[in-house]
Structure 1
Amino acid sequence: MADSNYLKDNLKGFVPTEVAAGIMDEIARGSSVLQLSDVKPMKSDTMKFQVWADKPGAYWVGEGERINTSKASWIFPEMVAKKIAVIIPVTREKLNDTTIDVFGELKPQIAEAFYTTFDKACLFGTNSPFEKNIFKSATDANNIVTRDTQSLDLDISDLMGEIEEKNLDVNGFAGHYGLKKELRSLRDSNGNQLAVMGMKENSLYENPLTFVRNGAFDNTKAELIAADWSKSIVGIREGIEFEILKEATLQSVTMGDGKPLSLAENDMIAIKATMRIAYLPIKDEAFAILKPKAAVMEVEENELVTP
C-alpha cells in the first residue's frame, strides 16, 4: 500500500491484508477456544456439517444365511457466522496517518476486544449470538462433575470419564487462571507432575491445557472444561472491515464530566472494526465441566428458600 494512502482518504473498507493477518494471529494467541478448536475457513455465512447419528453395523453371517442390513442416519448441524465489532476512539490526527500505521498501532486493542468477547460467548454463552455454547452442551449431556473432598486429580479423572463413557477421548482442557497453582502441585504415584507448565504450552494428563487469561472464564460456573475439541468448530470469514466514525456519540465511553463521549464535541474520531466468525459444538457429549462446590451449594440454598 502506498504511503499516500491515508486514513482520511479511506473512511471505510478492509483492513490492509498484512495488518489483518497480524490481528488474526493475536486473536488466535489470545483465544483459548481458537487454540483448542478445529478452525475452518468459511466461503459464505453458513456452513453445514454431516455427522453420524446412528452408524451402520456389521453382522456375523452363517453359510447360506441372509445378510442383515442396518440403517445409518445423519444429522446436519449448521454453523452461522455472526458479526463482531469493536469501536475505538482516537485523536482526529490519526486521519493523517496511513491505514497500515493506524491499524498496526491498534492491533492489540482490536484483537483483545475480539478474542475476549468470542471466548465468553463460546465457553459460557455470555451475550452470545450463537445457539449453542460449551457450558450448555456439557449441561445438556449431563457431563458434570462437582469438586469433591477427594483430590483434584481424581476429580479430573472423573471428568474425563464422563466423556470416555460416550466413546470419545479428551484431547484438551481449558481452565481459569486461578486453578494454575492447584494443578501445578499435582503428582502421580511416582512423584511426576500431572500438569506440566511449559514456556510455550502446558499439558495435563499429557493433553494440551490452556488457561483463559482474558476474563472470559466464569469460575462461578466451572473450574475446568475437558473436551474432545475436534467437536468444537470455529468458522472464520476472511477479512476485517473498518469504518471511520466522526459524528457519533459513544454511550459506552464516559468522559470526565460524566457525559458520553461525543466525537464532534471532543474533536475525536472512532474506528469501528468488524469481522465475521462462527462457532458450533457439534456433539454435546464431547464436553464436560468441573463445577465448583460452592456453585452447587448456592443452588441448593436458593431451592430451599424458594416458595
Structure 2
Amino acid sequence: MAQTAPTTTSEFAGFLKPDEAQAYFDEARNQSVVQQLVRQVPLGINGQEIPVTTSKPTAGWVAEGGQKPTTAGGKTLKTIKPQKIAAISVVSAEVVRANPANYIQDLRADIAEAFAIAFDAAALHGSSSPFGAGNNIAATTKAVELGTAATAAGSIFADVNAGLALLVNDKKRFTGSAWDSIAEPVFNGAVDANGRPLFIDSPTVENAATVRQGRLLGRPSFIGDGVAAGTIVGFAGDWTKAVWGVVGGISYDVSTQATVTLNGELVSLWEHNLVAVRAEAEYGWLVHDTAAFVKYTEGA
C-alpha cells in the first residue's frame, strides 16, 4: 500500500516572507504602551552606548567687557544591550491549509501582542526582565494612591496632580503617562476641578484600538493592557529618561517535524499533524533615571 509522504516544512515556509517582518514590529509597537511613549534608538548586536546628561550648563549676565562665566555640562555613557525575546505558535496543519493568508494575519497579531506584553512587563515592572535589576519604571520611589484626595469633586484629578507635584518638586518633568485598562472606567467618569473630562481622547485615533490614546493634564497618555502589576495601575513622568531599541528584524522558523512543549509535556508535531512557527527578536531597554517617574496605585 502506498504511503503518504509526511508534510514538509517547505510547504509552509512561503507563508512568512522576510520583507513582512517589519509589520510584526509595527504592530507590536502599536500594542505596547511603553514603546509609544519612549524614544527608540538604533541598536546593534553588540549594544549601544547612550550619552546621558547628568548636569546642564548655566548662563549668566555680564557687563560690557566683563569676564564671561565659565560653566560645564555633565554627561556620562550608559550601555543598552539587546536581549532575545521569543514565541512559538502551534496550530494544526489543517487550519493552515484552509486559509494560510488568514492564519498569518492572526499569527502576526498574536506574536505582536505577546512581544508587546512581555516587553512592557519587563520595562515597567522588571517582570522576568533580562535588562538588569532596577532597570524598570516601577523602581521609582515616588508613588500616589488613587482615591485618597480629600476633595469630593475632581478627586482623581487631585491624585494625578499630586503625582505631578512630586515630579516638579524634584525638578523632574511630566511628559506623558501610561495606564492599565482596569483604570479606564475611573478616567471615563473623572473630571478636573472645573468639571471638564480629565482624560481627553485623541480625535484622530480610532478609540476602539488596542491602546487608547489621549491626553491627561495636557500630556500624551495611553491606556492599554499589561501596565498593571500588584496594586500599580499607572505611571507618569519624563519618558525621555528611557530609551529602547530593536536589532534587525524578526527571525522565524517553521517546522512540522520538531518536538515542542505544550502544557508542560513534549509533543511531536509530526505525530499530531501540527505546524509550529517560532519567532525571535532582540530588544534593548534602558531607564537611566527612575526618579523621573511616579507610580499610581489603587487601594487594597
CA RMSD of aligned residues (A): 3.1
Q: Is this contact kept in 1: 2:227–2:234, CA < 8 A?
A: no
Q: Is this contact kept in 2: 1:145–1:159, CA < 8 A?
A: yes
Name 1:36's counterpart in structure 2: 37
Q: 1:10 to 1:120 in 2, by over 3 A?
A: farther
Name which of 161, 184, 195 aligns with 1:191: 195
Deviation at 1:105, TM superposition (A): 4.6
Name 1:292's counterpart in structure 2: 298
Deviation at 1:65, TM superposition (A): 6.9
SS in 2 for 1:163: helix
Name 2:158's counterpart in structure 1: 154
Q: Give the letter aligned to residue 200 of structure 2.
A: V
Structure 2 length-normalised TM: 0.80
Q: Give the letter aligned to residue 135 of structure 1.
A: A
| Matched ranges for 1:59-78 at <5 A | 59=60, 69-78=70-79
Name 1:117's counterpart in structure 2: 118
| Matched ranges for 1:124-203 at <5 A | 124-131=125-132, 132-136=135-139, 138=140, 142-147=141-146, 148-150=148-150, 151-198=155-202, 199-200=206-207, 201-203=213-215
- The worse-fitting range, judged by mean Cα deviation, of 43-52 and 116-125 is 43-52
Deviation at 1:57, TM superposition (A): 3.3
> Tell me, which stretches of 5 or more residues in structure 2 are unaligned?
1-7, 208-212
Q: 1:203 to 1:57 in 2, by over 3 A?
A: closer
Q: Is this contact kept in 1: 2:82–2:247, CA < 8 A?
A: yes
Q: Is this contact kept in 2: 1:12–1:242, CA < 8 A?
A: no
Give CA-to-partner distance per residue, 1:25-75, whole Å, 9 cap, x none.
211111111111112232444111112212333445568876554454322
2: CA distance between counterparts of 1:248 and 1:66? 75
- The worse-fitting range, judged by mean Cα deviation, of 65-74 and 204-213 is 65-74
Name 1:240's counterpart in structure 2: 250
SS in 2 for 1:238: strand
Deviation at 1:219, TM superposition (A): 4.2
Matched-pair identity in %: 25
Name which of 269, 273, 280 aligns with 1:267: 273
Q: Give the letter aligned to residue 34 of structure 1.
A: Q
Deviation at 1:226, TM superposition (A): 0.4
2: CA distance between counterparts of 1:128 and 1:8? 33
Q: Is this contact kept in 2: 1:184–1:196, CA < 8 A?
A: no
Name which of 248, 259, 263 aligns with 1:249: 259
1: CA distance between counterparts of 2:97 and 2:215? 47
Deviation at 1:121, TM superposition (A): 0.8
Structure 1 length-normalised TM: 0.78
Give CA-to-partner distance per residue, 1:68-114, whole Å, 9 cap, x none.
54454322111111111101113346898999786445211111111
Q: 1:243 to 1:12 in 2, by over 3 A?
A: farther
Q: 1:284 to 1:185 in 2, by over 3 A?
A: same
1: CA distance between counterparts of 2:234 and 2:243? 19
Q: Is this contact kept in 2: 1:89–1:271, CA < 8 A?
A: yes
1: CA distance between counterparts of 2:11 and 2:71? 61
- The worse-fitting range, judged by mean Cα deviation, of 154-163 and 283-292 is 283-292
Q: Give the letter aligned to residue 227 of structure 1.
A: G
Residue 207, structure 1, aligned to residue 219, structure 2: yes
**Count of matched residue positions in the alignment of Structure 1 and Structure 2:** 279
Name 2:240's counterpart in structure 1: 230
SS in 2 for 1:85: strand
- The worse-fitting range, judged by mean Cα deviation, of 170-179 and 262-271 is 262-271
